[in-house]
Amino acid sequence: MRVLIVEDDTRLAAHVAAALTASGLSVDLAGSVAAADEKAWTTEYDAMVLDRMLPDGDSLGLLARLRARDDTTPVIVLTARADLPDRLAGLDGGADDYLAKPFALPELLARLRALGRRPRTAAPPVLRLGDLELDPASMRVSRTGRELVLTAKEFALLEHLLRNAGRVVSRSELVEHCWDEFADPASNVVDVRIRLLRGKLGDPPLVHTVRGAGYVAEERPR
């Protein structure tokens, strides 16, 4: 899950980013409306956390622009302005959730995961391919009924591949969805993680290399 945190308090932003990253999320940071708008144009996020009052304006203006261009990315508005009129303004402006400062990091993480479980398309709550099952809600993976222990990054890779089962997913797309903005798409980090993931999934293989193009999750005849 890749998340954009829009917060001008650099210490708070770094603290939140560290906690979310430790929980397996990929986090990008922006400290202004302009920076957030640029990132939202160039990157597809699974969720955003917007501080209301930023140095160059109210992030509700950014939220309005996102919704006007049919961007359905789930958004949590995070702010010290927690009275009823401000909460209503945020929710009516297109926010999916509202969390007042000060807040507990476990609550923010729980709210992000809850938003991540809301399908923006008709994606099934449990993803299946052959005898493999992945449950995004509980972050559990099993094959032939046996639970597999994956790292957060392996889980993110497998989830994205299963959500796109049958379609070739490029290495750059996997970096885009499963790492943060500082990841080098030219490195072999994806290949290394995929190799480890395949070892844990076992046989017959369900994740296949498409030479020169990327990877695809699908069942193939033996």
User: Where are the chain's structural domains?
Assistant: 2-117, 127-217
Per-residue pLDDT, 74: 92
User: 79-90 pLDDT, tens per residue?
Assistant: 776 566 776 776
Percent above pLDDT 70 for the chain: 90
Triad 94, 156, 136: Cα angle to 5°: 65
Per-residue pLDDT, 122: 46
Percent above pLDDT 90 for the chain: 47
For residues 16 and 7, is the Cβ–Cβ distance under 8 A? yes
Which of 66, 69, 22 minimizes the C-alpha distance to 47? 66
Q: Which amino acid is at 158?
A: L
Lowest-pLDDT choice from 5-19, 93-107, 112-126 = 112-126
**What are the angstrom distances between the C-alpha of 90 and each of 85, 155, 196?**
9, 32, 43
Q: Looking at the domain 127-217, which fold is it?
A: Arc Repressor Mutant, subunit A (1.10.10)
CA–CA separation, 145 vs 90, rounded Å? 43
pLDDT over 70 (residue 91): yes
Triad 24, 140, 196: Cα angle to 5°: 65
Q: Return mean pLDDT, the chain.
A: 86
pLDDT over 80 (residue 23): yes
pLDDT over 90 (residue 130): yes
Which of 152, 115, 158 minimizes the C-alpha distance to 22? 152
State the distance between the two ends of the chain, measured CA to CA, in whole angstroms.
33
Mean pLDDT (whole number) for 129-152 = 91
If residue 215 lies in a helix (H) or strand (E), which one and from where to where? strand 214-217
Per-residue pLDDT, 182: 61
Assign domain 2-117 to its CATH superfamily.
Response regulator (3.40.50.2300)
CA–CA separation, 30 vs 86, rounded Å? 22
CA–CA separation, 127 vs 161, rounded Å? 10
Q: Which two tokens stand for residue 138?
A: 């509980």
**What are the angstrom distances between the C-alpha of 12 and each of 49, 105, 198?**
13, 11, 37
Residues 199-206: contacts with CB within 8 Å, 24+ apart? Answer: 200/148, 200/149, 200/150, 200/154, 201/132, 201/143, 201/148, 201/158, 202/143, 206/129, 206/130, 206/132
User: 165-206 pLDDT, tens per residue?
Assistant: 999 999 988 988 887 666 665 678 899 999 999 999 999 999
Global pTM exceeds 0.75: no
Q: How many CA atoms lie within 13 A of 122 on its CB side?
A: 0
